[in-house]
Structure 1
Amino acid sequence: MSLTRTLAAVAALGLAVGAASYTPPAAAREYVSVTVGTRPPPPRFERVPPPRAGYVWAPGYWNWARGRYVWVDGHWYAARPGYVYRAPVWRPYGHGWRFERETWHRDRHWHR
């Protein structure tokens, strides 16, 4: 075998081993479930600002922090083409209330 063929074979073997041992970094996803025994207060009135091109309005909501409900004001998020924003919500769960955090879901009607 010539030196060129030997080097090519070693390079190919190195690439194969490297590719086989590669694991992509895990997506930074964590989910913390919050369940509270008391119903959240009714939402506060917020004046929704006029629409802004390229942004999505996220309405305010009650969050659970340090043993009590705390209001989080509404704010703007940069729009994510191909995704739909879903605001956080409290849902009945067993004998309490479970908080579902805000999420972005793929828009199945969106096409480039």
Structure 2
Amino acid sequence: MRRALAVPFLALVATVSLSACAPQPRLARNETLVVVHREPPTDATENDPAARDGWVWARGYWAWNGHDYEPVHGHWERDRPGYHYTHAFWEYRKGDWILHAGRWEKD
């Protein structure tokens, strides 16, 4: 009886494990990445490059690594008609600094 239940159980575990590894689609909603009690640096991580047709520059920002802030460099995102890009930003709320991921939003 135990052996008969073991095979379906192992198949279920394998399916759940593999589905957790599947790539997740990028969401066009505001996602909080991290909450920190210390203010992030105010200086820019780098200068914005010149504009390129068909591309949007996703600005760099300061990320929290668990001990300190470290720069995350900007990168190019292919333009998405009907959407606009909102850059990553830190928000101060009730004594905490909250990092919001850069994201695409419908126009």
2:81 is matched with 81
Flag structure 1 segments of 5+ consecutive residues without an equivalent: 1-26, 108-112
- The Cα shift of 1:105 comes to 0.5
Q: List, as ranges, runs of 4+ consecutive aligned residues in structure 1 with deviation greater than 3 Å.
A: 27-33
TM-score normalized by the length of structure 1? 0.63
Backbone CA RMSD of aligned residues: 2.1
Q: Max radius of gyration: which structure?
A: 1
Q: What are the ranges of 5 or more consecutive residues in structure 2 without an aligned counterpart?
A: 1-23
Q: In 1, Cα distance between the equivalents of 2:45 and 2:67? A: 23
CA contact (8 A) 1:90 1:97 kept: yes
TM-score (norm 2): 0.66
| Equivalence for 2:98 | 98
Larger relative contact order (Cα-Cα within 8 Å, sequence gap ≥ 6): 2
Equivalent residue pairs, number? 81
User: Can you list the C-alpha shifts for 1:30-69, whole angstroms capped at 9, x where unaligned?
Assistant: 9454110000011326332221111001111001113221
1:45–1:72 Cα change, 3 Å = closer
